[in-house]
Amino acid sequence: MPLLEVKNLSVRYDKAQILNGVSLAVDDGEFVGLVGPNGAGKSTLLRAISGLVRFEERMKRGTAGDIVLEGEVRLAGERIDPLPAHEIRMRGLVHCPERRRPFRELSVLENLLAGAFLSSNKAETKRRLERALALFPRLAERRSQVAGTLSGGEQQMLATARSLMFDARLLAIDEPSLGLAPKIREELFAAIRKIHDGGVPVLLVEQEVGQVFKMADRNYVLSQGRIIGEGSGASLMANETLRAGYLGL
């Protein structure tokens, strides 16, 4: 049984069909990449999986046009698509959304601890904090600095590090390298690789297709709300239509 199983997932915002019958799976221990052009629906897919689309659906129905989500999402065999986002996270599916920013007024440490409110166990919180700081030495050096004064790239690292304060069964990360300088991007990818090496399955959305293909065991290519390719980086690169038409490589 896959750890995450998405079956025939469709999302429609009012009249716009954003996802159209998407099916994918992530196995325990796997690193799966999700790539595709801008506007393909990658973020929407992660937001549907983590319960954020359902949340919007609840909040907006009847006011800003209909939001319709259909299909199934299962985590370790159990349906999670009907659940609220916080319950999905409690079950271990941790989503780090695109352009997530830390709390500007809080220090690096306070930001990390603000992600740990679910654990009442102090020793456990300390363990998670040490893990996050060990993975991001740049943040460890700046632990007392106010987050608003970190560089944009460091803030993005902090946002990813905060996800580690939840004990993830699956970490779904959306465009962590967006707008980062090459050096900081490398540090971030190295940290994500270490998280995976530490036993956490990863579903990674990234524009940096070459980087994803280096790290991921398997990838999906999404275009206009549909999965149009699946496989290792090498096999996707060997497909000329995909490579030239969708991967920008």
Ligand X SMILES: Nc1ncnc2c1ncn2[C@@H]1O[C@H](COP(=O)(O)OP(=O)(O)OP(=O)(O)O)[C@@H](O)[C@H]1O
- Residue 18 contact, options Mg ion, ligand X, none, Cβ 5-8 Å cut-off depending on partner type: ligand X
d(CA 35, CA 48): 16
Tokens encoding 102: 């830390």
Q: Could you say whether residue 42 binds ligand X (CB under 6 A)? A: yes
Under a CB-based contact definition with an 8 Å cutoff, are residues 195 and 171 in contact?
yes
Q: Which of 24, 43, 109, 242 binds ligand X (CB under 6 A)?
A: 43
Q: Closest approach of Cβ 66 to ligand X, in Å?
A: 11
**Nearest residue (CB) to Mg ion, 34 versus 139:** 34
Closest CA to 116 of 129, 106, 107: 129
- Residue 233 contact, options ligand X, Mg ion, none, Cβ 5-8 Å cut-off depending on partner type: none
Q: Could you say whether residue 41 binds ligand X (CB under 6 A)? A: yes
Mark the segment that binds ligand X (CB under 6 A) among 34-42, 116-124, 148-156, 159-167.
34-42
Listing DSSP states for 201-221 in one string gives: -EEEE-S-HHHHHHH-SEEEE
d(CA 94, CA 26): 14
**Nearest residue (CB) to ligand X, 41 versus 153:** 41
**110 to each of 119, 126, 215, how far by Cα in Å?**
15, 13, 31
Phi/psi at 232 (nearest 5 deg)?
-70, 160
Residues 89-128 that bind Mg ion (CB under 5 A): 98
Q: Could you say whether residue 40 binds ligand X (CB under 6 A)? A: yes
Number of residues in contact with Mg ion, rule: CB under 5 A?
3
Tokens encoding 76: 């370790």
Number of residues in contact with ligand X, rule: CB under 6 A?
12
**Nearest residue (CB) to ligand X, 201 versus 225:** 225
- Residue 1 contact, options Mg ion, ligand X, none, Cβ 5-8 Å cut-off depending on partner type: none
Under a CB-based contact definition with an 8 Å cutoff, are residues 104 and 110 in contact?
no
Residues 71-130 that bind ligand X (CB under 6 A): 98
Residues 44-63 that bind ligand X (CB under 6 A): 44
d(CA 138, CA 136): 5
**If you search the block for the tokens 């990863």, which residue do you land on?**
202
Mark the segment that binds ligand X (CB under 6 A) among 33-41, 179-187, 230-238, 240-248.
33-41
Q: In sequence order, what are the beta bridge partners of 219?
A: 33, 231
Q: Which of 3, 13, 43, 227 binds Mg ion (CB under 5 A)?
A: 43
**145 to each of 19, 142, 182, 189, how far by Cα in Å?**
41, 5, 23, 23
Q: Could you say whether residue 39 binds ligand X (CB under 6 A)? A: yes
Binding site for Mg ion (CB under 5 A): 42-43, 98
Binding site for ligand X (CB under 6 A): 13, 16, 18, 36, 38-44, 98
